[in-house]
Structure 1
Amino acid sequence: MNDPWLSLQHAADHDISLLSAALLVAKDEYPGLACGDYEHRVDDYARRLTQQLPEDADETQRLSRLNSFLFEELGFAGDEHDYFDPRNSYLNEVLDRRLGNPISLAIVQITLAQRLSLPLEGVSFPGHFLVRMPLEGGIVVLDPFHRGRTLDLPELRRRARSELSAREIDDQRLATLLEPASHRAIVTRMLRNLRLGYVQNEAWDKALRCTDRIVTLDPFAVAEFRERGNLYLKLEHHRAARDDFRRYLALAPQAEDAEAVMNLLIASSAKAERLH
């Protein structure tokens, strides 16, 4: 039986469906999840939305109607009460509760935009994930966590300065920060957000699962081997931790934390492997 995660690893980026990949993330937590039912629900949203649009609607009108439909008519919103609730990263829960975090809401928004032939793209902006769409003469940047509102340049600069602890963000740096994210990077960021919530709750096994998926999706994400090694230590899987620390040091011998990771490797080597 083919492993869908390995299929994602080898897929070209444009062949990765954000909706399908996000539901695959959810299937780890909900093994019996009927992903097709949720894909059909989004298809139904797209049909309803298309029926509401005039045939001659331009891109700006279609984008405005999309936001109105998603955030006003359907009531999707950012979960400001419990931002790191894992349910905000599981797309089945997001679609059921109509609550999410910036990246999960962006995935719904981008998926619907694709159905309307709108070139909406994700942006791995510092802090909150955003979306952008090229328009004649520039781009429009939207915040899906706050009901898709448009962000102007001064606010984008303020956000970037705050997250990066920078005095000033010049035009070139801001343009770089607003570059579109690949689909692989978007799914990876979703998994990292999910892991952060599990780490905060000391759910080490689920945090490890997220890291396994990241490593499968992006085997060149070298720092993830260190992260996974640390999680293996939390679960007392010392042999697996040693393997990941060795791999990290082999791939990043000049890393700033190489000495600290070497010390972890030495310490884990002195401990007996956990019995199963």
Structure 2
Amino acid sequence: MIKPLDYFAALVQQEDSIPLFEAAVALAQDVEPQLDLSAVQADVDTLAARLRRRLPADTAQVQKLRMLNHYFYRELGFGSNLNNYYDPENSYLHRVLKTRHGIPISLALIYIEIAQQIGLEVKGISFPGHFLMKMSAPSGEIILDPVNGSSLSREELEERLEPFVEQIRKAGIPLADYLQPAPPRDILVRMLRNLKTLFIERERWQRLLGVQERLLILLPGDLAERRDRGLAYANLDCPKTALQDIEAYLAQRPDAADAEVLRQRLPRLRDANRRLN
């Protein structure tokens, strides 16, 4: 039987053909290795088919969007998990499908999957602070909040960027660039980094290790992610693999801001590795 990480690596191998929904569902196999990905796909297919049967063949795109919003948010009850927003389960699509509660990015991926199955081309936007969606219509692009399906004006979007204004000023990036569709790889990375933050805060090192393995499948040349995998190994008392990752990071980034702190950890890791050998 193929291992979950190997299957994930196969899914994301080709940049132009990543099956985003399946790959996003597969993230939960770190928690539930036996999770049946095809059963989760069947669940969302059933939801999409129920809506599709209601749509006359000549339904206009904007009317489809209105019907999808009513169906998704009113009938099915999808929305933000306000009572437990920082629960890692909000990032696992099979759980969000069951509870109907999640965070913007997980809600968006389920919404987008249903939208595509009824003939709507909705894309994800990796907007700062809050994942968004957009759809092209005859009247122009419609920017949507995945939490409730509301369309956002330019003024509302600029207001949402205000907390990041200093970062934006330094980067010199216009608003339009923040509204470009996010590639599947970038969306998966964002989902994993959300989980990474939660697992570091909770000191759940085994869960963090699973996240780091997937991040390095998506970003094989990212030295910072390799460093962080090494730190996860160190916290799991696996000094040999921790040393391999941390030393590789230091060899290529000897002057990094955290280099001295990491060097101070090396003697302890080497001693632990010798004791194990």
TM-score, length basis structure 2 = 0.88
TM-aligned CA distance change 1:275 to 1:117, over 3 Å: farther
TM-aligned CA distance change 1:163 to 1:244, over 3 Å: same
Which residue in the other structure is 1:247 paired with? 248
Choose which of 78, 81, 89 in structure 2 pairs with 1:79.
81
Aligned equivalents of 1:273 and 1:126: distance in 2? Answer: 45
CA deviation map 1:93-143 (0-9, x unaligned): 111101111111111011111112222111111111111122346421111
122-131 or 220-229, which deviates more: 220-229
263-272 or 24-33, which deviates more: 263-272
1:193 is displaced (CA, Å) by: 1.2
102-111 or 235-244, which deviates more: 235-244
Unaligned runs of 5+ in 1: none
Give the partner amino acid of 2:231.
N
CA deviation map 1:234-269 (0-9, x unaligned): 223222222112222344456444444444445533
Q: For residue 132 of structure 1, give the secondary structure of its aligned residue in structure 2.
A: strand
Pair 1:120 & 2:122 matched: yes
Q: For residue 82 of structure 2, give the secondary structure of its aligned residue in structure 1.
A: coil
TM-aligned CA distance change 1:155 to 1:228, over 3 Å: same
1:220 is displaced (CA, Å) by: 2.7
Aligned equivalents of 2:33 and 2:168: distance in 1? Answer: 47
163-172 or 27-36, which deviates more: 163-172
TM-score, length basis structure 1 = 0.89
**Superposition pairs for residues 68-107 of structure 1, below 5 Å?**
68-107=70-109
Aligned equivalents of 2:34 and 2:172: distance in 1? Answer: 48
Which residue in the other structure is 1:67 paired with? 69
TM-aligned CA distance change 1:46 to 1:156, over 3 Å: same
Q: For residue 135 of structure 2, give the secondary structure of its aligned residue in structure 1.
A: strand
Q: For residue 151 of structure 2, give the secondary structure of its aligned residue in structure 1.
A: strand
TM-aligned CA distance change 1:96 to 1:171, over 3 Å: same
1:214 is displaced (CA, Å) by: 1.0
* Conservation of the 8 A alpha-carbon contact between 1:208 and 1:228: yes
Which residue in the other structure is 2:15 paired with? 12
CA RMSD of aligned residues (A): 2.5
68-77 or 170-179, which deviates more: 170-179
Aligned equivalents of 1:37 and 1:192: distance in 2? Answer: 26
Which residue in the other structure is 1:173 paired with? 174
Pair 1:238 & 2:239 matched: yes
* Conservation of the 8 A alpha-carbon contact between 1:140 and 1:150: yes
Aligned equivalents of 1:137 and 1:259: distance in 2? Answer: 55
Work out the number of aligned pairs and report it.
Answer: 274
Give the partner amino acid of 2:225.
E
Aligned equivalents of 1:118 and 1:40: distance in 2? Answer: 19
Give the partner amino acid of 2:156.
E
Which residue in the other structure is 2:144 paired with? 142
Which residue in the other structure is 1:132 paired with? 134
Q: For residue 97 of structure 2, give the secondary structure of its aligned residue in structure 1.
A: helix
TM-aligned CA distance change 1:170 to 1:229, over 3 Å: closer
TM-aligned CA distance change 1:125 to 1:206, over 3 Å: same
229-238 or 147-156, which deviates more: 229-238
Percent sequence identity is: 38
CA deviation map 1:55-85 (0-9, x unaligned): 2222211122111111111001111111111
* Conservation of the 8 A alpha-carbon contact between 1:184 and 1:217: yes
* Conservation of the 8 A alpha-carbon contact between 1:238 and 1:271: yes
Give the partner amino acid of 1:218.
L
1:271 is displaced (CA, Å) by: 4.3
Unaligned runs of 5+ in 2: none
Aligned equivalents of 2:172 and 2:273: distance in 1? Answer: 54
CA deviation map 1:182-224 (0-9, x unaligned): 1111112111112222222211111111111111122133321
1:32 is displaced (CA, Å) by: 2.5
Aligned equivalents of 1:169 and 1:272: distance in 2? Answer: 43
* Conservation of the 8 A alpha-carbon contact between 1:157 and 1:169: no
Which residue in the other structure is 2:190 paired with? 189
Which residue in the other structure is 1:32 paired with? 34
Aligned equivalents of 1:85 and 1:178: distance in 2? Answer: 27
* Conservation of the 8 A alpha-carbon contact between 1:160 and 1:169: no
